Amino acid sequence: MFKRSNCPSAKNIIKGLLNKVAFPLPRFLYRFPYLLQLSFLKLYCESTSENGMSLSLRKSIKSVFLISWMLVSFPVESIQPVEIYTYDILPPYAYRNDKGELTGIYIEITRTAISRMKDYSLVFRVVPWSRAKSLVKQGKAFAILPPYFHAHDWLTDTEPKRPYIWPYSQPLYTQLDIVICNERVLSKDRRIWPDDFQGLGFVMFRGDGRAGERFLEQVEENKISLNWVNSTEDTVKALLLERTDCTVTSRLPFAWFMAKTIEQADFQKYKSNRLKLKELLQISKNTGHLAYTDIDDEKNFPYKKDFAIKFDIELYKMKKNGELDDIVAQFIDTDYIKQLMKHNQ
């Protein structure tokens, strides 16, 4: 019959074994359940008795006991990879740098926040925006970056119609659509959009509808002249060359392309002309978000709620300590932004 008094206490045996382990262990591992202590003690005493097993076998059994106990006692921490779908065609928000690396304001904000969420790792999937929307609508994509808020109009095809994306994170950044004009047109007060801009020439990239329906109506009525170009970069060049009066654009992309353009050999001599460009009006603003699928999410992404909460907490901390502004400053000449805005303040 086994008697506890015949051997040292199980706790002391366990401590002795753990002290031989080459790496540090947390204190809670020494608190072994009482019944398991007794079982361990009985087997240990039998394996170490003089008439018992060989020395090598006893050592093997001790090792097995230790490893088995550690496997039972240690909670296994796993890192959940998350895939976020985005694009790479809109600098400075999301684009590829000269090395081909995905970067940008939205990319770096998201990357920084998730790097502080110890239970998760991040993988970006770059696809056309229409593809990203389709995947999240089908419940095949966990999240997309960086849609505007569309819970009111991005709805399921089947009844009852409901948002197929929910929730949306806190805003990562606020994108401002502005009217920029050459200072030569400032002799007249221009505060009402677009009526106060009749008689002026505009340049915009093809397909851009941010100026609104009333603006396009006045273009059709020949009250405003509009020249379509192929990109924001072409818009910047037309303004630097003073070939037109104004444009409607997003503030940060305009500043980003301006910085790139004036470094080109053919445009360095026009660098001073950028100081003639003034922001006259803000006509709209939209916030970019990290947004999560709400289709089959409990089955496919059971961690969604936990992730969304933790992401918003990290984003809030970044806003409070000024990190978001620091990230923006990595991509944009903030002094030029201030100069551009001066007339509109």
Which among 271, 244, 264, 229 has a CA at the least distance from the CA of 179? 244
Q: Is residue 35 in some structural domain?
A: yes
Whether residues 154 and 297 share a domain: the answer is yes
Instruction: Report the CATH number at residue 97.
Output: 3.40.190.10
Query: Could you tell me if residue 345 is inside a domain?
Result: no
The structure's pTM equals 0.74
Where a domain ends, among 28, 52, 73?
73
Q: 24, 41, 73: which is the final residue of a domain?
A: 73
Residue at 340 is within a domain: no
Residue 343: inside a domain: no
pLDDT for 30: 40
Distance of CA 100 to the CA centre of its chain: 18
What band does 207 get if pLDDT is binned at 50, 70 and 90?
A: confident
State whether 251 and 154 are in the same domain. no
pLDDT (mean) for 197-208:
94
Q: Dump pLDDT digits (tens) for 249-267.
A: 999 999 999 999 999 999 9
Rounded to whole angstroms, the Cα distance separating 122 from 318 reads 18
Q: Which two tokens stand for residue 184?
A: 């030569």
Q: How far apart are CA 294 and CA 105, in angstroms?
A: 26
How many structural domains compose the chain?
A: 3
The pLDDT value recorded for residue 228 is: 96
| CA R_g for the chain | 32
Confidence of residue 54 (pLDDT cuts 50, 70, 90): low
Residues found in the chain: 345
Residue (of 324, 299, 295) closest to 143 by Cα position: 295
* 222 and 309 share one domain: no
Q: What are phi and psi of 174, to 5 degrees?
A: -105, 120
Query: pLDDT for 81-123, tens place per residue?
Result: 999 999 999 999 999 999 999 999 999 999 999 999 999 999 9
Average per-residue pLDDT for the chain? 86
Across 242-250, average pLDDT: 97
Q: Let me know whether 19 and 43 are in one domain.
A: yes
**Of 28-42, 150-164, 231-245, 301-315, where does mean pLDDT reach its minimum?**
28-42
Kindly state whether residues 269 and 324 are assigned to the same domain.
no
The whole-number pLDDT of residue 49 equals: 52
Domain ranges, residue 68: 4-73
Is 131 inside a domain boundary?
A: yes
Q: How many CB atoms lie within 10 A of CB 178?
A: 21
Residue 134 lies in a domain: yes
Do both 278 and 312 map to the same domain?
no
The whole-number average pLDDT for the span 18-32 is: 44
Residue 93's closest CA among 275, 281, 232? Answer: 232
In the chain, what percentage of residues exceed pLDDT 70?
77
Q: Does residue 88 share a domain with residue 118?
A: yes
pLDDT at 11: 52
Sheet holding 94-96, edge to edge: 89-90, 94-96, 102-103
240 and 259 co-located in one domain: yes
Per-residue pLDDT at 76 exceeds 70 = no
pLDDT at site 340: 86
| Residue 90 and residue 154 in one domain | yes
Residue 336 lies in a domain: no
Rounded to the nearest 10 degrees, the angle between the axes of helix 251-261 and helix 323-331 is: 40
Q: Distance between CA 320 and CA 305 in Å, rounded?
A: 23
Tell me, yes or no, whether 342 lies in a domain. Answer: no
